[in-house]
Amino acid sequence: MAISKDHLLWMYETMYKIRCYEDKMAEAYAEGKSPVFNIGAGPVPGEMHLATGQEPAAAGMCVHLKKEDTVTAPHRPHHHAIAKGVDLNRMTAEIFGKATGLGKGKGGHMHLFDPDVKFSCGGIVGAGIPHALGAALAAKKRGTDWVAVAFIGEGAANQGAFHESLNMAALWKLPLIVVIENNQYGISVPKTASTAVPSNDVRAAAYGIKGYYVKDNDPIDMYNVSKEAVERARTGQGPSIIEIETYRYLGHFQGDPEVYRDKNEVTLLRQKDPIIRLRNYLLNECGVTEETIAQLENKATFEVDQAYAFARESDYPKPEEALEDVFV
């Protein structure tokens, strides 16, 4: 399948930006939490789930999306948000609990909402799939070619919401795509100990829909299968499942002791880093120069630094605002 060089450059810049963002968030989150880890200390209290290593899933799919398409994400949402075009300044301010954040500092990193680009996420496992299903139904009823994408972890594929949503989407031929990021662990439980099938794309057969499998965190393959799935959805051919074999370099959450995996596992995974692989592909196969790569990296780094400065300099919400913008 022919791949646009502009698309590949966008993917590289986006993946690099995600990596810079997560690295900087890891540093910010660690502030004030040592020598004894205290989840409530520092400028970013609470849990933190980072997606370092999982960049191809978000970039390979979102390169094919437009502003009107819907994306829902789980508790590990930063890479999806960045790839969908969520306002980076307001997103970072939200994570820091600042009044300039997407949710005025009241949602935090697992509850990022940006209606301008139709993005949302939540901390309940599998909860984003029915939301994406609703968006897909609305898109079809309105007669548009918009699609809805639900990103989930492999553990969420064992939730009832996964099967119920895909059954309805298949029955009504809705433009829904479920992307399963198989990072090998549901918190600390290996996939082999929780799931009866070797890969979740085979479950597509149960609903008579298309299933795809992306091996070894490959950004080019993710680009290709995502393009086909999006084109099918836009042309009324119904839903798809994509499972990508991906890897998280960090723990399930920041502060995770990671006693459930071999201490050499991440070292070996980093040797086939997807950002480095895409960089080499651009240089060796696409005629892209080192100068162009450096420009993309500098632009991404600048935007991330700018977002963190904005967040740190922003004010916290006033105490009297605690009861504003809430349902009950």
pLDDT interval class at 327 (50, 70, 90): confident
d(CA 271, CA 269): 5
User: How many angstroms from the chain centroid is the CA of residue 228?
Assistant: 19
pLDDT score of 132 more than 90:
yes
Range of the domain at 204: 5-311
Structural domain contains residue 319: no
List, in order, residues 6 or more apart from 226 with CB less than 8 Å away.
Answer: 60, 61, 63, 64, 177, 179, 242
pLDDT score of 328 more than 80:
no
Structural domain contains residue 166: yes
Structural domain contains residue 328: no
Best CA proximity match to 177, nearest among 127, 216, 212 = 212
Structural domain contains residue 318: no
pLDDT score of 77 more than 90:
yes
Structural domain contains residue 323: no
Stretch (H or E) spanning 167: helix 160-171
Structural domain contains residue 326: no
Stretch (H or E) spanning 266: helix 265-270
Amino acid 191: pLDDT: 93
Structural domain contains residue 265: yes
Sheet holding 113-114, edge to edge: 113-114, 119-121, 70-73, 148-153, 176-182, 240-245, 210-214
Question: 219-234 vs 274-285: helix axis angle to the nearest 10?
Answer: 90
Total domains present in the chain:
1
pLDDT digits (tens, 9 = 90+) for 235-268: 999 999 999 999 999 999 999 999 999 989 999 9
Structural domain contains residue 156: yes
Which CATH number fits the domain that encloses residue 84? 3.40.50.970
Supply the Cα-derived Rg of the chain in whole angstroms.
Answer: 19
